Amino acid sequence: MIDYMKLGDEYLLHTYNRYPIVLERGEGVKLYDDKGREYLDFAAGIAVYALGYGNKEFNDALKSQIDKVMHTSNLYYNEPACIAAKEVCYATKMDRVFFTNSGAEAIEGAIKTARKYAYLKDGSTDHNIIAMEHSFHGRTMGALSVTGNEHYREAFEPGIGDVRFASFNDIASLEDLADDNTCAIIMETVQGEGGIYPADDGFIKSVRKLCDEKGILLILDEIQCGMGRTGYMFAWEKYGVKPDIVTVAKALGNGVPVGAFAMTSKVADNSLVPGDHGTTYGGNPFACAAVIEVLRQFKERDIVSHVKELTPVLEVALDELKEKHDIVSDRRGMGFMQALELKEACAPVIAEAREQGLLIISAGANILRIVPPLIINEDDIKNMQIRLDKALAKS
């Protein structure tokens, strides 16, 4: 029998400390390793597998597209890309979209769009961008440059020019940094890797107001918190604000690598033109077939309403764990994007949960991140609670 962990350790670049299991297949909200052991998955491939594993209609849509054509390049139109573009614009309430291969690439495109928009206004290239402390936008150089964790950036400096970091949910901090050369403010509507912190209502509305007053573009990163995860198709809808540019990925492809950045017609008509941006694979027929089927099922199954309906059940289960275990200091989040903050490191709890047949992940050294597939039911939540209860008790 092949030792896949040994094989991976020998040939994969060691940029991840992988958990010691080899996952082989999935069904619904469960994963199975190469020894046949079952795991209840409350990580969803880091908030990716919104519709669960082994979704027959999704798989059939991909198989059908494989039999037609998987790739043509963006030198030509293809049917799935045109349909997917319309559906994504409808879902995001935006007017134009560019398909990428990942969330980080979506951030790169959003940054370039904002800078080109500002350049066309005044012909200057000395514009600054304001991002948030403790934010996470990706590992590429541009995305890393607006990620508010100095530890992630320090070995790779200098990044892109003049990025300033404000305190999340502190409008005064942001106002102190904004000036006439600020071209964009970028933020996660709900901070993910930074610890699952939703934007305060007053803060995000004040950010939108500031952007309107100063002609600054608001970029909302909904790569993790978007696509129904918070009980809204996009988290910004809860606040009654609308970004100028939004980035999407993760659940958009339900496991197929695809992302997008979408924008209003005002931004689209005054920014990128042919030659400014491109991608070989982004928007190919295979990826866009996945997008079409994901959005079709979101509508047909009313996934957003399902998340909203079950959110109180999940929150009660997590609150009960908080009350029972002294190690848990806080519970916060929106929808199916929840966190349990611990008084000590969470790695032992994650390891013990795995022994109990539950997959969960972290969002910082002491924060358990709960981001299950969006199709979970009440029994799944109860089973999660039972298994996490045992893990917390042993830690």
Same domain, 246 and 339: no
Could you give the 3-state DSSP secondary structure of residue 354? helix
Name the packing angle between helices 285-300 and 56-68 (round to 10°).
Answer: 150
Given this model, what pLDDT does residue 92 score? 98
Same domain, 153 and 235: yes
pLDDT band at 338 (very low <50, low <70, confident <90, very high): very high
Same domain, 269 and 325: no
Same domain, 261 and 309: no
Same domain, 187 and 328: no
Using the 3D structure, point to which of 270, 300, 330 is the last residue of a domain: 300
Same domain, 114 and 212: yes
Using the 3D structure, point to which of 300, 329, 352 is the last residue of a domain: 300
Mean pLDDT in residue range 17-39: 96
Where do runs of H (alpha helix) occur along 93-200? 103-122, 141-145, 150-153, 171-177
| pLDDT > 70 fraction of the chain, expressed in percent and rounded | 100
pLDDT in tens, 191-239: 999 999 999 999 999 999 999 999 999 999 999 999 999 999 999 999 9
| CB of 374 closer than 8 Å to CB of 50 | yes
Could you tell me the two tokens for 65? 């597209």
| pLDDT > 90 fraction of the chain, expressed in percent and rounded | 98
Given this model, what pLDDT does residue 308 score? 98
CA distance 375 to 28: 8
pLDDT band at 367 (very low <50, low <70, confident <90, very high): very high
pLDDT in tens, 122-131: 999 999 999 9
Same domain, 314 and 294: no
Same domain, 235 and 149: yes
Read out DSSP for 201-218? HHHHHHHHHHHHHHTPEE
Where do runs of H (alpha helix) occur along 251-301? 265-268, 285-300
Residue-number span of the structural domain to which 356 is assigned: 4-54+302-393
Q: How far is CA 308 from the centre of its chain?
A: 18
181 or 2: which carries more pLDDT confidence?
181
Q: Which residues contact 294 (CB under 8 A, 6 or more apart)?
A: 50, 51, 58, 227, 251, 252, 253, 254
Same domain, 234 and 306: no
List the CATH number of the domain containing 334: 3.90.1150.10
Using the 3D structure, point to which of 245, 270, 300 is the last residue of a domain: 300
Same domain, 110 and 24: no
Given this model, what pLDDT does residue 395 score? 77
List the CATH number of the domain containing 176: 3.40.640.10
pLDDT band at 143 (very low <50, low <70, confident <90, very high): very high
pLDDT in tens, 242-280: 999 999 999 999 999 999 999 999 999 999 999 999 999
Q: Tell me the pTM.
A: 0.96
Same domain, 160 and 104: yes
221 vs 44, 131, 191, CA distance in Å?
Answer: 19, 11, 9
Same domain, 339 and 389: yes
**β-pair partners for 195:** none
* Count of structural domains within the chain: 2
CA distance 130 to 172: 13
